[in-house]
Structure 1
Amino acid sequence: MKRFFILVILLLNIVPIAYASERGLFWKLKAPNGSTHYLFGTMHTDDNRIIKFLPIVKKSVNASDLLLVEIAPNDHSQNLFMQNHSLVTDLNEIELQQIKKLAEFHVMHFENAIRMKPWLLAIIFDSPKPHTEFNQDYLLTAMAEDLDKEVIGLESSQEHFATMDSLSNDEQLIILRAVLKKTEKEKLSDYNLLMKQYVSGDVEQIRKTDERLTGKLMPEAMWAKIKVKLMGERNKKMAIKIKELSKDKQLFIAVGASHLAGQDGLLNQLRDSGFKMSPIKAFE
């Protein structure tokens, strides 16, 4: 189950043209007080192209006091499932058969799948089948723990899930049904596009593409209601916590790559707060 949780939602706001040239996934940050920190934009996958880190990544983790991730490990299990409810009462027989087939494909128990929150199940089913749980986030967390570094979350599980959990059950089912209608070819095409953009280091394009793909899963008015909360408001809270912790700790920050991008992204917010930054190559 842990592998499914680590799939982070990359749901995004519009990126102003002025920031369209921003590139880079791994950044060295120099805080106004002179301390050094690192910011890594991740993609939550075990794709072999992006999990073989260069030695500089481990060296940077070792030089830090804390690994900051979006949500701390083991702070989530109680937030994955619906309380006293099942999708059996919401879906027809054809849809339930699709759920069963996709649950098997993603190595999930059907009994767990039908109790999972519809929006979260949609995220899992819209993602490639994980071959291992050794995605970037897992590897960075394991690296930090091996180096005896503390790992803490920028958000609690309640904060992390709050926006999507605020959707009604019917609204969440709209997202799930949209994913059920997608073919595996369409899902693979979407994934390959995002991977191409990630490998190029183009976080702005990742963010814009995520918004376009996510927006297709729900009515326009529904997407407009939640997109600012999903990125802009969360980015602001993350930046505040990063700036506060950076006063007396050396940080290695690992968050979804789209959180770096845009006017409201972490790169721009930290730059406006006086942080100096330079990109570093993270993997071959």
Structure 2
Amino acid sequence: MRKLQFLLAGVLLSFTSINAQDLENSTLWKIEGNGLDKASYLFGTIHITCDATLENDVMKALDETTQVVLEIDMDDPEMQTKMMKGIYMKEGKTLNDLVNEEDFAAIDSLFINNVGMSVKLMQNVKPFFLSSMLYPKFIDCPMQSFETELMKIATEQNEEVLGLETIEDQIEVFEIIPYEEQIKDLVRTAKDNLAYDKANFAKLLEIYKNENITAMQDFMNDDNYSSVADYQDILLDNRNKNWIPKIKEFAEDQATFFGVGAGHLAGENGVIQLLRDAGYTVTAVRAEED
């Protein structure tokens, strides 16, 4: 259940925005200026990976900061309860209401073969959350998560873990995006038995390894994930804008390590540009070290 909790909490972060803007290849950025007494850091994560080892520059940034802020407070003891309340479709909707018999059978077979249970047992779960249960099958290795590693370091350093938004905020996104749109990607996944998703995610992992946050945006502007591409403002842009005053508040209070999905970093509505627009100096750590 703990793994499922992290999976569902991270569902949004597997998708990235589409407004490309060239930035240095780096997932770690320093936030300075605009009245800050001490620098804070912004780290772009990927939630599903084969190797979530934190590199030396990231560890150094963690040592130089005194609290960790993720997209949501994943250390909240009530998070699982809050999440389970929000994963179900409203108004009594079920999967049968959204797909025909052939597509339902394909989805059911996919879940039996990959999750070990029939989707008939989860018919009232929102399609996006059903899709998230398949994410570990996108990689051919035991799943690791950068958020888990960051939380471990915070615990070792006796630092608090906080969030830029609540789990309720994230769940609300999937009420705005119509269920009929959400189901399209799941049907496609079922019909090719994860083939496209596995190949696509392997390419994404390579892009992340190269820390090319701009290429991540271009790569994820994919018609095969139409329900994501058509709702970028809801999934990313609006959330990024809502985070800026909260980042300001945290960073002014104390040196803070921010960890958010790497897809939130680049673009004209990405966190880096929005912080620059707000008056901060935001620089790529690796570009400085090179």
Q: Bin the TM-score by the shorter chain.
A: 0.7 to 0.9
Aligned CA distance change for structure 1 residues 126 and 29 (closer, same or farther; 3 Å): same
Q: Which of 247, 270, 279 is the matching residue for 2:252?
A: 247
Q: Secondary structure at the match of 1:71?
A: coil
TM-score when normalising by structure 2? 0.81
Query: AA paired with 1:217?
Result: Y
Aligned CA distance change for structure 1 residues 273 and 167 (closer, same or farther; 3 Å): closer
Q: Secondary structure at the match of 2:30?
A: strand
Matched, 1:102 2:105: no
CA distances 1:66-92 after superposition (whole Å, capped 9, x unpaired): 211112225233222335554255445
The answer (yes or no) to whether the contact 2:107–2:186 under 8 Å persists in 1 is no
The answer (yes or no) to whether the contact 1:68–1:251 under 8 Å persists in 2 is yes
Structure 1 unaligned segments of length 5 or more: list them.
Answer: none
Give the RMSD, CA atoms, in angstroms. 2.7
Partner in structure 2 of residue 44 of structure 1: 47
Query: AA paired with 2:67?
Result: L
The answer (yes or no) to whether the contact 1:12–1:207 under 8 Å persists in 2 is yes
CA distances 1:23-51 after superposition (whole Å, capped 9, x unpaired): 21012222422311111101111312xx1
Larger mean CA deviation between 149-158 and 106-115 belongs to: 106-115
The answer (yes or no) to whether the contact 1:178–1:217 under 8 Å persists in 2 is no
Matched, 1:119 2:145: no
Matched, 1:154 2:164: yes
Aligned CA distance change for structure 1 residues 238 and 95 (closer, same or farther; 3 Å): same
Q: Which of 76, 81, 85 is the matching residue for 1:78?
A: 85
The answer (yes or no) to whether the contact 2:53–2:146 under 8 Å persists in 1 is no
The answer (yes or no) to whether the contact 1:235–1:266 under 8 Å persists in 2 is yes
Larger mean CA deviation between 253-262 and 103-112 belongs to: 103-112
Query: AA paired with 1:8?
Result: L
- Count how many residue pairs are aligned between Structure 1 and Structure 2: 272
The answer (yes or no) to whether the contact 1:87–1:115 under 8 Å persists in 2 is yes
Tell me by how many angstroms 1:252 deviates.
0.5
Partner in structure 1 of residue 186 of structure 2: 176
Query: AA paired with 1:72?
Result: D
TM-score when normalising by structure 1? 0.83
Aligned CA distance change for structure 1 residues 105 and 243 (closer, same or farther; 3 Å): farther
Partner in structure 1 of residue 67 of structure 2: 66
CA distances 1:224-271 after superposition (whole Å, capped 9, x unpaired): 4x2212221111111221012211121110111010001111111112
State the identity %. 22
Query: AA paired with 1:63?
Result: E
CA distances 1:95-152 after superposition (whole Å, capped 9, x unpaired): 4443344334554643654332112223443661585453111111222123221111
Larger mean CA deviation between 136-145 and 201-210 belongs to: 136-145
